Amino acid sequence: MTTPHTFRAFRSCLLLLIFPVLFMQAYGRGTTGILEGIVRDRVTRTALVGANILILSTPYGAPSDVDGKFLIHNIPTGTYTLRVQMLGYKSLVMQNVEIRSDLRTRIVADLDVSTIGMEEVIVRAERPLIEKDITGTTHRVGGEELDLLPITSFADVLGLQAGTTMEGNVRGGKTTEVAYLIDGLPVQDLLSGGLSSNLPNSTIVDLTLQTGGFDAEYGNALSGVVNVVTKSGGNNHDLAVHVEKDDAFGGTEHSKNNEFELTASGPILRDRIFYFISGNYDLTGTQWWQDFERSLTEPIDKSFNGFAKIDLFLSPTIRWSNQALVSMHDWHDYEFSWRFNLQGLPTRDKLTYRIASVLSHTISDKSFYTIRLSTHRMENTVGGTARPSINPLEIYQYDFFLQYITSGNRALWSKTLQTVYTAKVDFASQVDDINLLKAGIELNFYDINTDIEKYEPRKTYFGKPLVNLPQLNYSTQYRYFPKSGSAYIQDKIEMDAGAIISVGIRYDFLDPTASRPAIDRIPVKQNEYLTQVTGYTKASVKQQFSPRIGFAMPVTPTAMLFVNYGHYFQFPLFDYLYSGLDVVALQRGASAVLGNPDLEPERTQAWEISIRQIMNDEFVGSATYFKKSTTNQVDSKTFIPMDSKAAGDFGFAEYVNNPHADAQGLELVLTRTRGAWITGEISYTYMKTEGLSDRASQGLDLAQWGFQPYISLFPMSWDQRHTVKVNALVQLPFNIQANVIFNYYSARPYTYYPSRDGFTPLYPTAVFIPNNRRMEDYINTDVKISKEIELGFSRYSRLLVYADIRNLFDALNVRWMDASGRIGGELGDPSAYFIPRRSRIGVRLTVGL
């Protein structure tokens, strides 16, 4: 549903975009690159002094020095055309010159002598087969490549890379351990973790995924960094319209999905002010539309993602960029056991917006700085805007066999607001011929406001409700104003013979601005307790130093060795710090689990070693071994028995630091980036992930079920040992392209602890060992077939027509099993399988005005 606060937020975004903002965002990293090279006489190979190097349609350029060399810093990520010209020589035009975030693009411009000054030579630049600048493992996808992939969101690209699982776990880490950035700015959910908002795919010019060894400028991530760089407008007006459907041919093999996207860009003032705007609207009945249509009005799931940017070139050396990102998502919960009472499940609404402004000043041909300020706000509502009346004594009704919920409403309502204001300054300088220095400092101020009323019936481990026991109370209400900050310094040293050393250190702090209560559980009688708060202790400021070092060197003319070691960290989610600490909940002992504002950051030590070999002009092979150890992970620890009967007092757990996890693996990758009819990548990953806890609620869950914590390392639920991935772009006749994605994942673990009746274990004396068995292997093939047609009107006009087929062979891939080894459990829940085949057709019209 669309609410008044939605329109107020959208209006605020537009106003702040036009009248530059009061708040702007940090983390503005990884959005520009460097162009360097040498200009020579093609015949004599002597350096040419004073040649002009111009990046067309931009204000960027530089002359060659006495050695024929040139260097241009702070160029926005993108693909450019370069002109090199000098009196007495033919001009050289280089097309398809790619500037990649955090990388140097190196070119050699050999000029031919000419007696006619207007002659020019046109060549096409090619990306180097091995990127030498970044010493960690980095994957890159350009905007044009992204258009050809059978994916829904840019976040899906993470799952295509070596070392990742089907859910997006990177090298054995949790999914919440990945930082997502758009234009270097975070889009994180501070309470639940993960990606907070999305944006149209047509907005993306470059996508960088770092799965290991990221530099000191990136923080608050344990496993990986995903950085999206967005497009900007140019001196020509461009318009694109995109429509996609998955139910055009009827039947039931669809989700009633309809998508519309509009993109426009161009100049407001030629050479000085440019605009870019894009919006995506998606309506769907979801995979479960046949159940929903019995009782609810479609569409069930609605989302809008919008992005707007204005770039101002105040001078050839000063660039000012203002942008707004808006994401709105409204949907209705679905659970198979509620299929006959879906109206009893809550609706959900999420609104996210981010306003950012970035001022970048190139001081000299070797140095520049960037100042960033922003605000990022996320509002999440469950159960509607009006607070309902919830009676914790009224539990929804089950059928006679305690299988399906037949009436009643889920006892859940919440409204959470999270806002972060950030200021950041970054500085970069090519100090001399071998040292590229980066440094930065940032401050973040948060406003975390949560109001949750939530009751859940107690259940056995096997999922059967204990209807005669009082419900667990997860209600909480709090508002806190934590703050954090960081500083880093990074030096990239280019040695002789092509070796590179990257050394950096990062400092971070988090001030929770909260106090930790001292709680006594006073026994009243057997298994009955009362809660008493005896005092408060102010939570300490948490600090972290993170050294990182990387090394790259050529071992042969066609092979490079990379080594990387670093310390990484991530502050706990704010819900783990503050949940259940409001005074009323503490005095009543109402909350089932208490937050802990004194939690330490989770810390990881990781290293990797990689060899990358150029096979020939088309193929590159690489082998990477990695190992990582993580400490201070968050779990919950129980303090009183599960069956406490004191009135309202069922609180018995608190978030603590204690689990430990280890991961190691080997990645083998073969890439073909140049070729006549097929390009792409094939990878194999062996990975092993073990730990003491795979979720923050594990201790609470085990206590509820009456099990003792398992004290030995066991496989995590995402311990995917063997993975094979193929990403191939095939050129077919009649200029048709097919992008084929094939994935094989070996079976993931689940816990086998069977029960005959759903209340008692089949083997009561058996030791409860988590994740002691494995499900079935996963095999899936997606394909996107597309053809681009030149229409021949306007400056340029193209029509892209495509068919996007997910799960081409309609494979039944298992998502989960119950403790008795049944796919879908007692009900045969179809959500136990990954989504079956879905076929989409779409068109995109692009016009240059």
Task: Say what the pLDDT of residue 646 is.
Answer: 35
pLDDT band at residue 520, thresholds of 50, 70 and 90? Answer: low
Domain edges within the chain: 4-30+230-848, 32-124
Asked if pLDDT for residue 648 goes beyond 80, the answer is no
Q: Residue 596: is its pLDDT beyond 70?
A: yes
Phi, psi of 385 (to 5 degrees): -75, -30
Helix (H) / strand (E) containing 706? none
- Residue 671, pLDDT > 90, answer yes
Residue 766 has pLDDT above 90, yes or no: no
Distances (CA, A) of 699 to 139, 460, 542: 37, 15, 24
> Cα–Cα distance between 48 and 114 in angstroms, integer?
14
pLDDT at 10: 39
Q: What is the dihedral of CA 705, 711, 715, 717, to 10 degrees?
A: 30
What's the mean pLDDT in 188-207?
A: 90
Q: Is 497 helix (H, G, I), strand (E, B) or coil?
A: helix
Average pLDDT over all residues of the chain = 87
**If you average pLDDT over residues 729-754, what whole number do you get?**
95
Q: Looking at the predicted structure, is the pLDDT value of residue 22 above 80?
A: no
Residue 294 CA to residue 288 CA, distance in Å, equals 11
Q: Which CATH class is domain 4-30+230-848?
A: mainly beta
Distance CA 506, CA 417 (A): 29
The average pLDDT across 342-368 equals 92
* pLDDT range class, residue 56, cuts 50, 70, 90: confident
Nearest alpha-carbon partner for 751 in 695, 699, 686, 816: 816
What is the structure's pLDDT at 588? 57
Average pLDDT (453-474) is: 86
Q: Three-class SS of residue 662?
A: strand
pLDDT score recorded for residue 584: 59
Q: Give the distance between the most distant pair of CA atoms in the chain.
A: 104
Per-residue pLDDT band for 112 (boundaries 50, 70, 90) equals confident
Give me the residues paired with residue 429 across strands.
437
Is domain 32-124 annotated with CATH 2.30.30.20?
Answer: no
The model's pLDDT over 803-826, given as tens digits with 9 standing for 90+, comes to: 999 999 999 999 999 999 999 999
Q: Residue 137 above 50 pLDDT?
A: yes
- Sheet of 78-85: strand order equals 61-63, 52-55, 78-85, 91-99, 120-124
The mean pLDDT of 673-685, rounded to a whole number, is: 92
Report residue 570's pLDDT band, with 50, 70 and 90 as the boundaries. very high
Q: From its phi and psi, is residue 474 left (phi > 0), alpha (psi between -120 and 50) or beta? A: alpha
**What are the pLDDT digits (tens) for 200-216?**
999 999 888 999 888 99
**Rounded-to-10 torsion of CA 460, 463, 469, 472:** 100
**Are 4-30+230-848 and 32-124 in the same CATH fold?**
no
Give the whole-angstrom CA distance, residue 59 versus residue 315: 8
pLDDT of 29 above 60: no
Instruction: Judge whether residue 532 has pLDDT over 80.
Output: no
Half-sphere exposure of 158 (CA within 13 A, CB side): 28
* pLDDT confidence of residue 27: 33
Distance CA 41, CA 133 (A): 27
Name the least confident of 532-536, 563-567, 614-618, 676-680.
532-536
The pLDDT of residue 24 is 31
Higher-pLDDT residue of 276 and 637 is 276
Phi, psi of 336 (to 5 degrees): -60, -35
Per-residue pLDDT for 643 more than 70? no
Helices and strands (H, E) in the chain, number of each type: 6, 47
Please report the DSSP string for 179-243 in residue order: EEEETTEE-B-TTT-SB-----GGGEEEEEEEEE---TT--SBSSEEEEEEE----SS-EEEEEE
